[in-house]
Chains A and B, each alone.
Chain A
Amino acid sequence: MTLLTAVFAAVISTVVWYRNAPGDEMKVSILCFMYWGASLMWLVDAIFEYAELREAYFTPEPADMLNDFFLGISVVALGLVIWVVILLVKDPKGAVKKVLLKK
């Protein structure tokens, strides 16, 4: 479930990036790389888990599934927070600087 949530986040962020490409004023590419990196790593985790559990991997307990989904949503939220912090620090539009220097 965590893998699925991360993959959906990666796909959505990639579509958003592509809509504005080749421009990347909002630094959405950072979000894409972050979610794709995490998705690839969780894919490996899933493959190893599948090798151990076999078909039981596809029939998780509802409580585990809910916990994994909650984790996935939290991971997406953390990714968004990291992206916002990077965006505000890099300030590609110079908006933060303008607001701070405004008299």
Chain B
Amino acid sequence: MGCFLVPTTEAVIVTIAEHVAEKKALSSGNREEALKEVQAPKVPFTRKLSWLRNMLWGGSGLLAFEHVWHGEVVPWFPFLTAASDPADAAEMLHEMSTVGVTMAALVTVVWLGMVAVSSAVEKKAAQQTAEEAESKA
């Protein structure tokens, strides 16, 4: 009914967070740090955030299309057909708090897994580089 609104809200928050992080990294105080992050064999955090952003926007966008397909989202006010009836609205809110929250949580958990794998690969690469430098010296 309106389950896609929960991941959409998270997508908005993540997009704002990504912009803030990007601005912070490029601000005069952290400029050197930002450049270091780009030069080092490390995936910048803003890029990792973009994975979550793309999954959330893409997923909720396609899910919104499914709701249009089923006539649950309409192009006129109040946009969600369930919102015009109090009983349906209560059901919609229940669905948002169960299915919607689980959707957002699962996507976030998968993203955390991706970040963990990426960090492990970065660590291994850093170790290899250090070992190679040691053997050369």
Chain A: residues with CB nearer than 8 A to chain B?
2, 6, 29-30, 33-45, 47-48, 71, 74-75, 78-79, 82
B97 → chain A closest CB, angstroms: 12
Interface size on B, residues (CB 8 A): 24
B1 → chain A closest CB, angstroms: 11
B73 → chain A closest CB, angstroms: 14
Number of A-B contacts (CB under 8 A): 78
Question: A74: which of B59, B63, B69, B102 is its contact (CB, 8 Å)?
Answer: B69
Give chain B interface residues in 88-124, CB to chain A under 8 Å. 98-99, 102-103, 106-107, 110
Contact indicator B65/A41 (Cβ below 8 Å): no
Main secondary structure of the interface of B (DSSP, over half): helix
Contact indicator B62/A6 (Cβ below 8 Å): yes
Contact indicator A45/B62 (Cβ below 8 Å): no
Q: Roughly how many angstroms separate A48 CA and B97 CA in the complex, as a whole number?
A: 13
Contacts known (A71-B69, A75-B65, A82-B61); A37 close to B99, Cβ less than 8 A? no
**Which A residues lie within 8 Å of B51 (CB)?**
33
Confirm or deny: B55 has a beta carbon within 8 angstroms of a beta carbon on chain A.
yes
Main secondary structure of the interface of A (DSSP, over half): helix
Q: Roughly how many angstroms separate A38 CA and B56 CA in the complex, as a whole number?
A: 8
**Which B residues lie within 8 Å of A2 (CB)?**
66
Contact indicator A78/B99 (Cβ below 8 Å): no
Give chain B interface residues in 45-68, CB to chain A under 8 Å. 51, 54-63, 65-66
Contact indicator A75/B62 (Cβ below 8 Å): yes
Most buried by A among B63, B66, B99: B66
* CB<8 Å pairs between A and B, sample of 9: A30-B54, A33-B54, A36-B58, A37-B55, A37-B58, A37-B107, A40-B59, A41-B3, A41-B60
